[in-house]
Structure 1
């Protein structure tokens, strides 16, 4: 089953209020409103695209070790996935799919990292919960996601909903700004130019990891040539 098919199946059960979710329709309506407004804002159109230069960054892994994008790019192409956090089931399913694809990425000489605004403790939970072997990095205040054009501020009514649902983003992220990244997937070539960019303001939609392989293969061939 494809990643998107799994996401669609989860969404159908979640929005139908099936156990164990038991989510009332009013909550779903608020979530739909927030997504529709984010789509309508056209913020995703301002994110970095293929052909743009990717900003360089250094972020810490869950153990506090700095990971440099420049160092990773010196070794090969880099796949970057921005996600919302371990509290997001759609993100966890995406991380699991990326883990499955990770050996194929490595065979093509590419590295993979995932970036979220959450604290180191929650990043460690991401690694444990999803049995990950690639680096999870903490983007404090969503500064790197902002550099890629992904950061947005949650509207007040969504903050109220999250608070009522005990989804305390300031606690998860160690930051009281109530900002998140739109989910984004990028492939950056060794010259720092973005080869692929997929950004979607609808967090229930994610690209297939397998779609990265042809682009990585082409990048590897270009580097050899």
Structure 2
């Protein structure tokens, strides 16, 4: 089953839930899709903004660390979740890649992939896949404010093969 098919089945399941459960989630998704401006997201050819984020054990990881030690392609997931929550997720799903915590969406804001929900201190990071070369230049970007849609892993691998 493709990633698209998995998210489509989740979306379909959510629509079967009582409106008091599904309504707020679907309304929020529709609001994000309608108001997100992809032109404000990081673009191909841009330099990746520098960052320092915590990994799942609380160790600080910088963008420079990742760019200088990469001998090929380094896959990194960045989430606004707490490091200990990310550690549980990483272990549960046996992720083999680096997982970093972006508390407060600070890095996501630099990338232009956050959408406020009209309430102070409540914002949602938009799922994005960004390929960065060893010089820190963005080579490919996929951003879709519909969080039921994600880039298929095969496409990401094709991007990296083209570097």
Question: Fold match, TM over 0.5?
Answer: yes
- The Cα shift of 1:191 comes to 1.4
Q: How does 1:74-153 map to 2 (within 5 A)?
A: 74-76=68-70, 109-153=72-116
More helix by share: 1
Where do 4+ consecutive residues of structure 1 move more than 6 Å? Answer: none
Residue 14 of structure 1 and its aligned partner are, at CA, apart by 2.7
Structure with higher strand content: 2
Q: Which residue number corresponds to residue 192 of structure 1?
A: 136
Specify the alignment match of 1:54 in structure 2.
48
**Which residue in 2 is equivalent to 1:16?**
16
Matched, 1:202 2:162: no
1:179 has 2:109 as partner: no
Aligned length: 163
- Unmatched segments (≥5 aa) in structure 1: 18-23, 78-108, 157-175, 220-225
1:141, CA displacement in angstroms?
A: 1.3
Equivalent position SS for 2:139:
strand
Residue 204 of structure 1: how far off its partner (Å): 0.5
TM-superposed CA distance for 1:118, in Å, is 1.4
* Matching residue within 16, 34, 37 for 2:28: 34
**What is the TM-score with the length of structure 2 in the denominator?**
0.90
SS at match of 1:131: coil
Q: CA RMSD in A?
A: 1.8
Structure 1: how far apart are the matches of 2:147 and 2:89? 17
Checking the alignment, whether the CA contact within 8 Å between 1:34 and 1:155 is kept in structure 2 is: no
5+ long unaligned stretches in structure 2: none
Which string of whole-angstrom CA distances, capped at 9 and with x for unpartnered residues, describes residues 163-221 of structure 1?
xxxxxxxxxxxxx82222111110001111111111111111101011012221121xx
| 1:99-148 per-position Cα deviation (integer Å, ceiling 9, x unaligned) | xxxxxxxxxx2001111111122111111221112121111211100010
- Select the structure of larger CA radius of gyration: 1
| Distance in 2 between residues matched to 1:62 and 1:75, nearest whole Å | 19
> With structure 1 as the length reference, what TM-score do the two structures score?
0.67
User: SS where residue 69 of structure 2 aligns?
Assistant: coil
